[in-house]
Amino acid sequence: MAATLSHASYSANFASSLSKTTVSRPSRFSPSFKVYTFLRWTVKPLNSTFTPHAQRAITTITHATSTPSSIPSDTSTKTFHGLCYVVGDNIDTDQIIPAEYLTLVPSNPAEYEKLGSYALIGLPSSYATRFIEPNETKTKYSIVIGGANFGCGSSREHAPVALGAAGAKAVVAESYARIFFRNSVATGEVYPLESEVRICEECRTGDVVTIELGESRLINHTTGKEYKLKPIGDAGPVIEAGGIFAYARKTGMIPSQSK
């Protein structure tokens, strides 16, 4: 999942008909046997109450008693404020969370916190300021600002989870590796926001910044500059809900977990 989440998927009805074909028997078998064969299938798009981007529509099937409109999906008032941590281009998943820590299980609260303590530990020594200070488990930088191709490398979903577990709320980058963007939305750990310019060259680690999702902008209070961000779009409500499964439960796409 680029500026907005890649939402092009379709629901379809698959209709097939069976024909019974009688096959003459070889002399040593029973009189006859029937073979069922699929003759054809058709694809028929379904309608839905979900209203996505005009160019990247998702058609979903929801339970009759619940629709996506039944939960708040407005992120227009959501803001993030805090210190930013600035990195460069091509920050890969090995730098975000090295493979040796992938044995930690995020569903275990203690291991989730430990995973966060290793976020961005793979950055080279040229980064004099570390994302997480020694003997700490949380970062003081709630916003990560990166360059192009942020999150490239392997498909490990531990990468956005580690950032979220460390205390980061959003990443603002010039561009993303698609798999990192998708994992960020699917896990609901961080907002992957795209900038229209190379903010990473104009901000410094430790600058005080605010992100206003509704206005799609980043304000650097240290320098006094403002930057336009690309809208998060339909990915916003999914992240706000806590990830794709939490969103699906709230919208009735899948049954809620039994209490």
Per-residue pLDDT of the chain (259 residues; tens, 9 = 90+): 443 343 333 333 333 333 343 344 444 444 444 434 444 444 444 343 433 433 333 333 333 333 344 444 455 679 999 999 999 999 999 999 999 999 999 999 999 999 999 999 999 999 999 999 999 999 999 999 999 999 999 989 999 999 999 999 999 999 999 999 999 999 999 999 999 999 999 999 999 999 999 999 999 999 999 999 999 999 999 999 999 999 999 998 988 876 5
Give the 3-state secondary structure percentages of the chain, helix then strand then coil, rounded to 5: 20, 25, 50
Q: What is the helix (H) or strand (E) element at residue 33, kind and residue range?
A: strand 32-45
Q: What is the helix (H) or strand (E) element at residue 18, kind and residue range?
A: strand 12-24
Which of 239, 200, 187 lies closest to 80 in space, CA to CA? 239
| Rounded distance between C-alpha atoms, residue 180 and residue 150, angstroms | 8
Q: Is residue 142 part of a domain?
A: yes
| Rounded distance between C-alpha atoms, residue 226 and residue 159, angstroms | 28
Q: Is residue 125 part of a domain?
A: yes
Q: Is residue 226 part of a domain?
A: yes
| Rounded distance between C-alpha atoms, residue 85 and residue 205, angstroms | 4
Number of domains within the chain: 1
Q: Is residue 8 part of a domain?
A: no
CATH of residue 113's domain is: 3.20.19.10
Q: Is residue 102 part of a domain?
A: yes
Q: Which two tokens stand for residue 243?
A: 């990830």
Domain that holds residue 210: 79-251
Q: Is residue 100 part of a domain?
A: yes
Q: Identity (one letter) of the amino acid at 257?
A: Q
